[in-house]
Copies of this chain bind each other. A is one copy, B any other.
Amino acid sequence: MHKNCIDIQIMNQRTTRQLAIKKILTTREIHSQEGLLTILLKEGFDITQATLSRDLKTLKVAKIPDGNAGYRYSVSERIHKDHDKTKEKVNFLIDGFECIKFSGNLAVIKTLPGYASSIASVLDNADPYEIIGTIAGDDTILIIMKENVSQNDLKNRLILIMPKLRDKLKY
C-alpha cells in the first residue's frame, strides 16, 4: 500500500476512476485521450494516458468521427436516447436488489419479488465482458460468469452498470 493513501475507500481506485470517466464522457465533448486525461488530472486522478487507454477499452468507449471535423469519444449507453430515463429506471430497479452470493463461476442475486427479470434485462443489455449469460426467475437471478473472472471483477462491473449498487455492496 502506498504510504500516503489513507484507505477509507469503498471502491478501488480503478472503479472510482472509471465511473468518473463515464461521467465526464456523458457530460462533455471529448475529442482525444489527451483531453480527457487533462480533465482527469485536474480532478485528482493521477494516471497516465496508457492507463486511460486501458480504461476506455474496459468501458467499451467508442471513438466516432464527429459530424463536423474531428472525433469524439462516446460511451455506448450514451448513444441511446432517453439516457436519463434509463438511468432513472435503473436507479429505481436497484431498490429491488437484496444481495449477491457466489459459487464458483456462478453468482446469484436475490431481489424483491418481481424485480429479477427487469434487473437481469439491464445486465443483458449492458452485455459486459464478465458475464456469459443470466437466467432470471421472479426474485432470483443466476449469473454465469466468464472463466477467470473474480468475484470482485463482477462486483465492480455491476457497480459500473448500476452505480447506486455501490451502496449495497460491501467490500
Contact = CB atoms under 8 A, between A and B. Distances in A.
B67 A125 contact: no
Nearest to A68: B129
Contact of A79 (B58, B64, B118, B139): B64
Interface residues of A, number: 40
B116 A114 contact: yes
Interface in A85-139: 85-86, 89, 92-93, 96, 112-118, 121, 124-125, 127, 129, 136, 138-139
List of 4 A-B pairs having minimum Cβ-Cβ separation, nearest first? A114-B117, A114-B138, A62-B64, A57-B65
Given A57-B65, A80-B86, 10 more contacts: A60-B65, A62-B64, A63-B63, A67-B129, A93-B121, A113-B116, A113-B117, A114-B114, A118-B118, A118-B121
